[in-house]
Chain A
């Protein structure tokens, strides 16, 4: 069975601080895909990043960076110089293929609050 654990339920920081959101996953698949999604209060989930199980390169996109480590089954997300607009619930998700389509398993989410 696939499982995603986001141990941090809520994080609150002051604007401009750096913050890291943790994600640990479990899967027996040798090929799998990891995602981060952002959910602001409006409800829509916005895709942030995808990482393949065979690609352990870290990635940086502006103020966002991701650290994927297969050895520890972790896919952590860091926001540098946080801003109030980063306040949202962030979900880490694991994907497998079922009958050609995607089956996402989400972690419990981390509610991030950036205070001015």
Chain B
């Protein structure tokens, strides 16, 4: 099983809503990532979890709150987002180390209205 599964695939939310993005992998990877990708731009790293602990926060606004409940799951809690937060949110996982390939999910296309 080499899949990273993300739900939902599409999400429309208002600026006062609270929603969560979910990501699951069963490859035994102990590093999991959230990336944000705006249209026609490359993915940009948001958060990295290593062994279920947050190891990197790329100065992401607090309206984005990550959570790693266990080694297979990664959540991204959203609250009070702005329209400019509309983007494709990609989850990825990898084995430890810089020399391993990351496996990406299909992403959640988020629209904030």
- A residues lining the B interface (CB < 8 Å): 32-33, 35, 37, 42-47, 50, 52, 91, 95-104, 106-109
CB proximity of B1 to chain A, nearest CB, Å: 15
B90 at the interface (CB under 8 A from A): yes
CB of B99 within 8 A of CB of A106, answer no
Contact residues in B for A100 (Cβ distance below 8 Å):
31, 50-51, 55, 96-97
13 CB-based A-B contacts, threshold 8 Å: A43-B90, A45-B90, A45-B102, A46-B104, A47-B103, A91-B43, A95-B99, A101-B48, A101-B94, A102-B31, A106-B43, A108-B41, A109-B41
Contact residues in B for A43 (Cβ distance below 8 Å):
88, 90, 106-107, 109
Interface string of B35-47 (1 = CB under 8 A from A): 0000011111100
Contact residues in B for A97 (Cβ distance below 8 Å):
97-98
Given A98-B55, A101-B31, A103-B45, the answer on whether A44 and B99 have CB atoms closer than 8 Å is no
The 7 closest A-B pairs by CB, nearest first: A106-B42, A97-B98, A47-B101, A45-B104, A99-B55, A101-B31, A43-B107
Q: For chain A, what secondary structure do more than half of its interface residues adopt (helix, strand, loop), or is it mixed?
A: strand
Interface residue range, chain B: 20 to 34
CB of A47 within 8 A of CB of B102, answer yes
Considering the chains assembled together, what is the distance between the CA atoms of A101 and B106 in angstroms? 21
B59 at the interface (CB under 8 A from A): no
Selected from B42, B48, B103, the residue in CB contact (under 8 A) with A98 is B48
Selected from B40, B98, B104, the residue in CB contact (under 8 A) with A102 is B98
Contact residues in A for B109 (Cβ distance below 8 Å):
43
Considering the chains assembled together, what is the distance between the CA atoms of A91 and B92 in angstroms? 15
B window 17-46: CB within 8 A of A: 31, 33, 40-45
CB proximity of A66 to chain B, nearest CB, Å: 14
B15 at the interface (CB under 8 A from A): no
Task: Specify which of A32, A52, A100, A108 lies most central, judged by the most chain B CB atoms within 10 Å of its CB.
Answer: A100
Considering the chains assembled together, what is the distance between the CA atoms of A55 and B80 in angstroms? 47
Considering the chains assembled together, what is the distance between the CA atoms of A32 and B41 in angstroms? 23
Considering the chains assembled together, what is the distance between the CA atoms of A42 and B99 in angstroms? 26
